[in-house]
Amino acid sequence: MGRYPLLTVPSDTELKVTVGFLKGATGSDGVTFKVQFEEGQTRQTILSQRATYDGKLDSVTQGLNSIADKSGHFILYVDAGQSSGQDWAVWVEAQIVTAPPELPDLVTTEVREEDGEIRYRIENQGEGSVVNPLGPTTRFCNALFIDGELVARDYVNIHEMLPGQWI
């Protein structure tokens, strides 16, 4: 068991761990790696990963929003299970990282000719919203290439576009 110093968990962070076994731990019946968070007298399991010896490392990521802005101690623990014979378990890495932001993904999903004009539909297929924090709109450029040559360009001003929305 390893207990880390008091820490306040930042918002929008994740716990990334890499675990495994030392080479040759063929007699192990497996272990459970656990990360717990101790706040005062309360201890909760943040991550639990069962592992068996296969010669490979296991990487696991767990969001920490449930304990964001709380202060406590992280505890790394290994449960040997039925037998501790050849349970040569190792923590390769355990770190708290900033979670990547959810990003929009604007995709042209439909192109059609209507009344002599080319019309198209833009859809946000990403996880994040399009919002311009500096002004009222975000300018989106849609370009049409034929055989590698630019033949048309159009600009659309988007105020806000949530995931799954389209214009």
Please report where in the chains the tokens 């010669």 appear, as a residue.
55
Counting the structural domains of the chain, the total is 2
Residue 156 within a domain: yes
Same domain, 92 and 114: no
Same domain, 76 and 125: no
Dihedral in degrees, nearest 10, Cα atoms 90, 93, 94, 96: -170
Residue 32 within a domain: yes
Q: In this structure, are residues 19 and 90 in contact, taking their beta carbons and an 8 Å threshold?
A: yes
Q: In this structure, are residues 95 and 136 in contact, taking their beta carbons and an 8 Å threshold?
A: no
Same domain, 42 and 84: yes
Residue 23: what pLDDT? Answer: 94
Same domain, 46 and 91: yes
Among 70, 98, 126, give the residue marking a domain's end.
Answer: 98
Residue 47: what pLDDT? Answer: 97
For residue 87, count CB atoms less than 10 angstroms from its CB and return exposed for 0-12, middle for 13-18, buried for 19 or more.
buried
Distances from the Cα of 77 to the Cαs of 35, 94, 156, in angstroms?
6, 12, 53
Residue 167 within a domain: no
Q: In this structure, are residues 96 and 37 in contact, taking their beta carbons and an 8 Å threshold?
A: no
Same domain, 93 and 146: no
Taking 90 as the threshold, does the pLDDT of residue 163 lie above it? yes
Same domain, 84 and 143: no
Same domain, 44 and 75: yes
What percentage of the chain has pLDDT greater than the value 70?
Answer: 98
Residue 131: what pLDDT? Answer: 80
CA distance 9 to 64: 8
Same domain, 87 and 121: no
| More confident position, 160 or 22 | 22
Same domain, 92 and 116: no
CATH of the domain at 42: 2.60.120.200
Same domain, 69 and 7: yes
With 0.85 as the threshold, say if the pTM is over it.
no
Q: Residue 8 is part of which domain span?
A: 2-98
Residue 54: what pLDDT? Answer: 95
Residue 166 within a domain: no
Same domain, 79 and 13: yes
- Residue 46 token pair: 């943040």
Taking 90 as the threshold, does the pLDDT of residue 3 lie above it? yes
Same domain, 25 and 78: yes
Mean pLDDT over the full length of the chain: 91
Taking 90 as the threshold, does the pLDDT of residue 43 lie above it? yes
Q: pLDDT of 100-143, one tens digit each?
A: 888 899 888 888 888 988 888 889 999 888 887 677 787 888 88
Non-local (6+) Cβ contacts of 77 within 8 A are: 1, 2, 33, 34, 35, 36
